[in-house]
Structure 1
Amino acid sequence: MEFMLWYCIERISPYPLQGVETDHQKPEIAKIKTEHTSVRKDSEDWKTTKKVGSLLGSKEDIEHRKHLSKIAFNKLTNIWKSGNKRKQKTKIKLYNSLVKSVLLCNCDIWALTQTDEDRLDSFHRKQLRNTLGIRYPTIISNASLYKKCREAPLSMQVLEARWRLFGHVLRRDRNIPANKAMLFYFSDNKRARGRPQTTLPITLNNDLKKLVATKLELTTQTYLDSLRLIAEDRPKWNALVAEIRKTAEAARSDDPAS
């Protein structure tokens, strides 16, 4: 939860410095209950809390984004069904601009499991097929579909966005809330019983563990400082992100289900 919060804080903290003014016509009203209520330690009500347009829970936000993208997609039904009146290239451009942008809004704060990635990719492919009017009994492989649309699996796009934002946070001043929250995260050695939930640091660490040559991790403050040094050198950081994506894509190609 801490990492999700500091990512959301990072998104809104620089805005006043850039001269962005608040739109008073679009306020977010938060209701605070003053009556006494019992709070359970395992309560997960925070996951459905909306901040900066996203729900704090990754799974909850993904489902929310899917729902919004379906609405955006259905509004363009006449375009998708226009047949040969519009080129496929034009349809894909419209899809990326008006639908995929809704689906991927704030995707860089998602902590995804392998199952989450597979479901997200499946949802994306279904929309691509509907965009091009490919329906049963017409069959097209996943690889051919991506090539035809000049697209990559959505999970790979989310991975790259996740690391771009992480690098941006690491390059910021250490006194901003985001970096202070990281210090708190690694200083807390207590761990609850059972299997830990998939969080952003766990997802980032899983990405790093696939890089056998670098031996980088995200499990201690020392490793975090090492990543911070790399992030300060943009060419090195971009090379690291490219290598992470390349390794992830290679792992997908070895998976017969992909």
Structure 2
Amino acid sequence: MAEVQSDLIIWQKSLERRGLRVNREKTVYMYCNFSNANANVIPCPSIEGSPLKRVEEFKYLGSIVAPKACIERDIQNRTQTAWLKWRSLSGILCDSRMPNKIKGNVYKRAVRPALLYGSECWPMRKTDEQKLHVTEIKMLRWSGGVSRTDKIRNNYIRGSFKVAMVHEKLRENRLRWYGHVMRRDDDHMTKKSYEHRRGEERPWTTTNNLAANTKKRHEI
């Protein structure tokens, strides 16, 4: 913690020397307890004697950063953001006079990017994909004026809007990001993190494994 406090002072002085002032109330810190130590006995960093507020999570560049390696809060945040975008465009998406093709294009170019932002780096599970699938189907059903009592299948609704399945778009985003990382220099931090194995008994479950399976299918 002494090193963190020292870096914080250097960071504060460097900013204020250039005319920027660090807000004492809005500046917070997050503690990652990897050693299962008692976090209450660890001194908190401070600026000029004012202790900083400790938080369990914070938003950075649209993503939720939390001490635990889970994406539940990130998916919840993306879902809320997508609904806000959908409501702002409901005048087009819910207009019965608008063709479904145009509605589908608006959804694919404005709403779905907000829903899947940052998903190429998510350690996805089946339950996480199901949450995104449910959210998207609700949006498409409302856009088409279709309820569950109409007993219309989800595949037909997706076909009318020309919208692909969520898991297909997730795979596409991951493979695109994988190719971007593999084109990096060997000494780049992101490429090094992909090449670092967690052990033979715990294989990759995200991008590397996905690319290997895709390559195997093409070879077959």
TM-score range, shorter chain: 0.5 to 0.7
Kindly report which structure 2 residues correspond to 1:96-245, keeping only aligned pairs within 5 A, or say none: 96-183=108-195, 185-186=196-197, 189=199, 201-204=204-207, 206-207=209-210, 210=213, 214=216, 243=218
Could you say what secondary structure the match of 1:50 adopts?
Answer: strand
Q: Does the 8 Å CA contact 1:47/1:55 hold for their aligned counterparts?
A: no
- Identify the structure with the greater strand proportion: 2
Q: Determine if the alignment matches structure 1 residue 31 to structure 2 residue 18.
A: no
- Identify the structure with the greater helix proportion: 1
Q: Does the 8 Å CA contact 2:101/2:162 hold for their aligned counterparts?
A: no
Residues 118, 32 of structure 1: alpha-carbon distance in 2 compared, 3 angstrom cutoff: closer
Match in the other structure for 1:76: 89
Gaps of 5+ in 1: 1-23, 215-239, 248-258
The count of aligned residue pairs is: 176
Could you say what secondary structure the match of 1:83 adopts?
Answer: coil
CA RMSD of aligned residues (A): 3.6
TM-score norm. by structure 1 comes to 0.57
Q: Does the 8 Å CA contact 2:120/2:177 hold for their aligned counterparts?
A: yes
TM-score norm. by structure 2 comes to 0.65
Residues 38, 137 of structure 1: alpha-carbon distance in 2 compared, 3 angstrom cutoff: closer
Say which one has the larger Rg.
2
Q: Which has the higher contact order (CA 8 A, sep 6+)?
A: 1
Residues 182, 38 of structure 1: alpha-carbon distance in 2 compared, 3 angstrom cutoff: closer
Q: Distance in 1 between matches of 2:118 and 2:83?
A: 17
Match in the other structure for 2:5: none
Q: Distance in 2 between matches of 1:129 and 1:100?
A: 15
**Residue 31 of structure 1 aligns to which amino acid in structure 2?**
V
Identity %: 22
Could you say what secondary structure the match of 2:150 adopts?
Answer: coil
Q: Determine if the alignment matches structure 1 residue 54 to structure 2 residue 66.
A: no
Report Cα offsets for 1:128-150 as digits up to 9, x if no partner: 11111112422211221221111
Deviation at 1:74, TM superposition (A): 1.6
Gaps of 5+ in 2: 1-19, 21-25, 38-53
